[in-house]
Structures are given as C-alpha cells and as structure tokens.
Structure 1
Amino acid sequence: MLIGLLQCDDVAPQLQLDHGNYPAMFAALLGGAATEQGETLQWQVWRCLDGDIPDDLEAVDAWLTTGSKFGVNDGLDWVVALEEFVRELYAAGKPLVGICFGHQLIGKALGGEVIKSPKGWGVGLSFNQITSREAWMEPWQDELDLLVSHQDQVVSLPPGGCALGGSGFCSHYLMRVGGCFLGVQGHPEFSREYSRDLMRLRREMVGDARVREGTATLTAKVDDNLMAHWMLNFMRQAMAARVR
C-alpha cells in the first residue's frame, strides 16, 4: 500500500533529536502494524504546512493527515487549500484517515463544527468508550485509549458522519464520514516519552495542573498498535469498496 502523508506540522526542533519528526513517527507506527499483517507500506510526503498541496487524488492508494499546532479555524491559506483537497477526496471516495488536526479538518471541511473547547486542554492519555462496532475494528475491543494534545474539538458531525466512540471530555473522539473517511482525535503515533516531553514544553500554555494530571495518566496502557491495525483495516476496506 502506498500512503500519502499530508504533513501539517513539524515536531518542535528541541524535541526532534529524541523523538524524530512526524513522517518517521507514522512510518514506525503503521509499518509495525503492517508487518504484523504481512504487508509492506510505502510513503510519499506532502508538506502541506509549506503550501505543498497534492494536485492528484490518485497519486497514492490512501491518504493520512497529521496533527498540527495550527487550528482549522485559523484562516491560513494552506489550511483553506487543504480543506478543498479534502472535499475533493471525499467526492471521489478516496480513503483518508485524519489524526487530531486532520480529524478536525475532515469535520470542518465537510460541514461539521470545530471549536476551542471550554473544557480546556486534553493532554496525556485519554480514555474512550467505543459505541459502535464496525467490521474493520479488528482485533476488537470496546475501549480506545490514546495519547492526546489538543484544545479544539469536533462538536458537530458533518453530514454522513457517525460518532464511533468518545468520552465525557470529547464526545466525537472517533468518527467515520461516509465509507472512506475516518477521524480520530488522539495521536496513535505519539510515544509516552514524547507526550511527557511535549507537555513539559507546553507547560506554560497548558497549565501546571493539567500537565500534572496528564503526566499521571502515562503509566496506563496505550492502544497505539490497536489503532494502527484499525487504520490499515479501514484503508483497505475503503479501497476495496471504491473499486467494486
């Protein structure tokens, strides 16, 4: 499978030496799951944050959008252009998985609503209940606990959207739109160590109390590998549906 990574941010320079940048994080996450499934992945990266928006929907088999420190409501030119590309992908039935900012981008581009949550920052590990089981959710479990770092949330689903899981903090944590788009508010590509260092870096922005709470969650089990399998399964299902 050839995956197109829509890169919407860089890891902070002071954290890259220890943790790498987003393309390496996603290659490690999904590459490991693909190996377990007997498959090899190939990657092509577009640096959307630099204005590099793809001009060919069919350049890859499936698309993946990273998180970002920027917001979908910031009005940045490259975000507006990427929204249009997302709408084109959806019209064509092309598979797309959105992570955090990418999840919110799907919601906003297709007619949902994204706001800065009055609940404040979500950091550390988030604990979520799956409310709707789908065929690509294999191996199955009814919980999905992933690392997070976000203020914005999808609060209204776009037409054709279905909430698949969430929590009291974020009700639309996992969503599917139609048969080809999947969005998750969490960061399956994050490691515990990166989450800890990111919270420390953003302590002044996030607040001491929330950082302490988030750090305390890092001893719990993280469902990063499970989500990687679900993402690949979803991409394959969407690809198969498109060619029928």
Structure 2
Amino acid sequence: MILGILLCDDVREPLQTDHGNYPEMFTQLFEQVDTRVQLRFYRVIDGQYPESLDECDGYLIGGSRFSVYDNTRWIVTLTAFVQRLSQQHIPLVGICFGHQMLAWALGGDVTRSDKGWGIGVHQATFNAHEALQHSWLPEALDKYALVVSHQDQVLTLPPHATILAGSPFCPNAMMLVGDYCLGIQGHPEFTTHYSQDLITLRRALYPEKTANNALNSLLAHTHHLDIAQVIISFIKSRLLRVQD
C-alpha cells in the first residue's frame, strides 16, 4: 500500500534535531505498525501535489499551525484538492488540521474553540454503536488516548458524517465523512517527549494551569500505534470496497 502524506507545516526548527520533521515522525510511526506501507510525501504548503491521484492508494493530511479558515492560497488549493479526492472516492485521512480540513472542505464548520487550548494527552471515547459497524475500528478499545495540540475544533459536521469518538472537551474527535474520509483530531505521530518539548517551547501561549495539566498528562499511556493501525485498516478496507 502506498500512502501519500500531504505536509501542511514543519516541526519547529529548534525541535528538529531531537525529533525530526514530519516525514521522519510519520515514517517512524508506520514502520512500527506495518513495514509494507510505503510513504510518499507532498509539501502541499509549498504547492507540491501528486501529478496523478492514483500515485497513491490513499492520502493523509497532516497537522499545521495554521487554521483551515485562513484565506491563503495554499489552503484554498488544498480545500479544492480534498473535494476532488472525496468526489473520486479515494481514501483520505485527516490528522488535527487535516481532520478540520475534511470538515471544512466537505461542508462542515471549524472555529476557534471557546474551551481553549487542547494540549498534552487527551482521551476520547468511541461511539459504541458506530464502532460496531466498522471492522477497521479496534474491538478491544472503548477509549483511546493521543497527544493533541489544537485551538480550533470541528463545530458542525459536514453532510453524511458520523461521529466515531469524542470527549467533553472535543465532542467531534473522530469522524467518518461518507465512506472514504476519516478525520482524527489527535496526533498519532507525536510522541509524548515531543509534546513536552513543544509545550515548553510555546509555553507563553498557554494559561499556566493548562500547561501544567498538559505536562502532567504526558505520563499517560497513548494508543498511537492502535490509531495508526486504524488508519491503515481503514484505507485497506476502502480499497477492497473499490475492487469489489
């Protein structure tokens, strides 16, 4: 399986020595789950896109410090590309900014949350009824924990979307839009060590209590490998559907 990663930002330069950039993060994540998955990277933030949609079996939109409602050229172009992938029924996964981009591009609403920053390790609970409908979701988990880093949230779902998981802080933490688009607010590619360094670097942005709680939360176990497997299984299940 070839997975195209649409890069929408860079890791902050002071952190790249210890943690690498996003290509290294995604490579390390998926190598731990399935070494047969091949990754191709496209810097959509710089206008780089696949020459043909069938270069990859599916695509993943990564995170970004920007907002999907920023009226910049590369975000407008990415919005149109997401719509094109959806229309062509090509499997597409969105992570954090990418999750919000799926909602934004396909008719939902994204806004700055009045709940403030979500940072550190957050937990979300699967919608039990919906989870039973999808074999690519893990049967053994009723909840999952991931590193998060966001102010924006999906406020209103796009048409034909269902909530797969949520929490009081982030009700729309995982969603399925139609049959071919999966959005996940958390960051399976982030390690807790990276989150600690990122929070420390950007500490002036956060209320003191929020930062302290987030740093304390990083002692918790995360389900990043389980969610990476969800991503792989989701894309493979969509490919089988196309073949049938």
Write the mapping of 1:76-95 to structure 2, written as runs, cut at 5 A: 76-95=72-91
Paired letter, 2:146? L
Q: Does 2:102 align with 1:102?
A: no
Partner of 1:88: helix, strand, or coil?
helix
| Equivalent residue in structure 1 for 2:116, among 108, 113, 120 | 120
| 1:177-215 Cα distance to aligned partner (Å, 9 max, x none) | 111110100000000100001111111112222110100
Paired letter, 1:74? D
- 1:4 counterpart residue number: 4
Structure 1 residue 243 displacement after superposition: 2.2
Is contact 1:2-1:61 (8 Å) kept?
A: yes
Is contact 1:53-1:82 (8 Å) kept?
A: no
Q: Distance in 1 between matches of 2:182 and 2:229?
A: 13
Paired letter, 1:30? F
Q: Does 2:229 align with 1:229?
A: yes
Is contact 1:146-1:187 (8 Å) kept?
A: yes
Q: Which runs of 5+ in 1 are unaligned?
A: none
- 2:179 counterpart residue number: 179
Paired letter, 2:183? G
The RMSD of aligned alpha carbons is 1.0
Q: Distance in 2 between matches of 1:239 and 1:146?
A: 26
Q: Distance in 1 between matches of 2:50 and 2:101?
A: 16
Write the mapping of 1:18-167 to structure 2, written as runs, cut at 5 A: 18-35=18-35, 40-131=36-127, 132-133=130-131, 134-138=134-138, 140-167=140-167
Structure 1 residue 55 displacement after superposition: 4.1
Aligned length: 240
Partner of 1:189: helix, strand, or coil?
coil
Structure 1 residue 53 displacement after superposition: 3.1
Paired letter, 2:83? R
Identity %: 41
Partner of 1:128: helix, strand, or coil?
strand
Query: TM-score, structure 1 length as denominator?
Result: 0.96
Structure 1 residue 140 displacement after superposition: 2.9
Is contact 1:127-1:144 (8 Å) kept?
A: yes
Q: Distance in 2 between matches of 1:138 and 1:164?
A: 12
Paired letter, 1:196? Q
